[in-house]
Amino acid sequence: MMRIRLAAVLAAAALLAPSLAWAGTTLDSIKQRGALRCGVNTGLLGFSAPDAQGKWHGLDVDFCRAVAAALLGDPNKVQFVPTNTQNRFTALQSGEVDILSRNTTWTASRDSTLGAVFAGTIFYDGQGFMVKKSANVKSATQLNGATICVQPGTTTELNLSDYFRTKKMNFRPVVVNELQQVEQAFFSGRCDVFTTDISGLAATRLKAPNKDDYVILPEAISKEPLGPLVRRGDWEYFTIVKWVLAGLIEAEEYGVTSANVDKLKAESKDPPIQRLVGASGDIGKGLGLDNDWLVRALKAVGNYGEMYQRNIGPIGIARGINAQWRDGGLMYAPPIR
Ligand SMILES: N[C@@H](CCC(=O)N[C@@H](CS)C(=O)NCC(=O)O)C(=O)O
């Protein structure tokens, strides 16, 4: 009897101990502050850009709102902090932001040497090239000798030199720190080519004096899985961020939307849907939240498909590889169960 009781106590301690060990300070400081500090872009249409009233819009912005809704019960409890390509990782490391949700590519070195860890992929992208239509260039293989605008501290810069070296071509880099200034440099003809993630090219093209004067070349020269990252060590917080992303993606798979989530919570007999909306199981509690965590996120920003349609739709990028896995895309969330 004694032995059984001891075993039970030890088992309970083993269950508790890891959760204490995994708890970081980020979660507490977010709760104390009553706001999530979210590092975003300085202004990239579709992902994170402020409107004339200073209200932020975009896929990356909405993701932070979803995390705030799940964690703090209110999607508006987010402070958006603009970051550029150079200062983004320092902003996360120094604690200025709790999450970087800003068209940032998940790579091995970033995931292992920055004191940060990626929570998943919110948008699968690739690096491309944009040129003036009048240059009559049809392929990236014709870019030998070109002057190319690029931002520092990016995967873009690295892929660019890899690509030209492999193709035995030369280029002259024009390295510009701020996105607005690169765009200016490109539109004013200081460089022949602008290179970045293809989504970024599409967003920039919309800002051109005449967008039809510019074309995006057909090549994608790299993989750019863009996703949110947080500091290492705060594993409970990391787990929440990771599962909010998975939950938004899985909600689309099962047709749970901002409009029908309440009705489905009350009526659905479908086990995966019941778990998503917290009508069965204790997924939210396991995350240290309540079982409405995902309902709040979905009501605030909709499922991944709704987020995509609202934010990426207007910049004219089809779902493509960002479609659900059942539709031939790469969006495949681990199951909420
Ligand atoms: N995904 C690439 C590139 C991301 C990137 O930062 N691109 C530029 C061009 S779209 C940007 O966001 N610039 C905004 C800024 O620096 O303010 C990376 O993570 O290195």
Distance 60 CA to ligand 1 centre (A): 13
Residue nearest to atom 3 of ligand 1 (CA): 154
Do 245 and 297 touch, CB atoms closer than 8 A?
A: no
With a cut of 50, list the residues of the chain below it in pLDDT: 9-10, 13-21
Distance 105 CA to ligand 1 centre (A): 9
What's the whole-number average pLDDT of the chain?
Answer: 94
Q: Where are the alpha helices (DSSP H) in the chain?
A: 2-22, 26-33, 59-72, 88-93, 108-113, 155-166, 179-187, 198-205, 235-253, 261-267, 271-276, 283-286, 293-301, 304-311
Distance 13 CA to ligand 1 centre (A): 45
CATH topology of domain 127-222: D-Maltodextrin-Binding Protein; domain 2 (3.40.190)
Burial 115-142 (b: 16+ CB within 10 A, else e): ebbbbbbbbbbbbbbbbbeeeebeebee
- Reported as a single tens digit per residue, the pLDDT across 173-189 is 999 999 999 999 999 99
Distance 151 CA to ligand 1 centre (A): 7
Point out the ligand 1 atom lying closest to the alpha carbon of residue 204.
10
Are 23-124+226-250+303-320 and 127-222 the same fold in CATH? yes
- What local confidence, expressed as pLDDT, does residue 24 receive? 76
Point out the ligand 1 atom lying closest to the alpha carbon of residue 105.
19
Point out the ligand 1 atom lying closest to the alpha carbon of residue 110.
19
**Could you tell me which residues come within 8 angstroms of residue 256 by beta carbon, excluding any fewer than 6 positions away?**
264, 273, 276, 277, 298, 303
Residue nearest to atom 6 of ligand 1 (CA): 85
Q: Which protein residues touch ligand 1 with a CB less than 6 Å away? A: 41-42, 44, 84-85, 103-105, 151, 154-156, 178-179, 196-197, 200, 224, 226
Give the whole-angstrom CA distance, residue 132 versus residue 138: 11
pTM over 0.85: yes
Point out the ligand 1 atom lying closest to the alpha carbon of residue 82.
17
Q: Would you tell me how many other CB atoms lie within 10 Å of the CB of residue 65?
A: 23
- Out of 56, 109, 181, 197, mutate this one to test ligand 1's pocket (max ligand atoms within 8 Å of CB): namely 197
Give the whole-angstrom CA distance, residue 294 versus residue 278: 8
Distance 28 CA to ligand 1 centre (A): 30
Burial 236-260 (b: 16+ CB within 10 A, else e): ebbebbbbbbbbbbbbbbbebbbee
Point out the ligand 1 atom lying closest to the alpha carbon of residue 125.
1
* Cα–Cα nearest to 116, from 127, 132, 105: 105
Distance 42 CA to ligand 1 centre (A): 9
- What local confidence, expressed as pLDDT, does residue 14 receive? 47
Instruction: Give the domain ranges of the chain.
Output: 23-124+226-250+303-320, 127-222
Question: Right CATH number for 23-124+226-250+303-320 from 3.90.1150.10, 3.40.50.720, 1.20.1050.10, 3.40.190.10?
Answer: 3.40.190.10
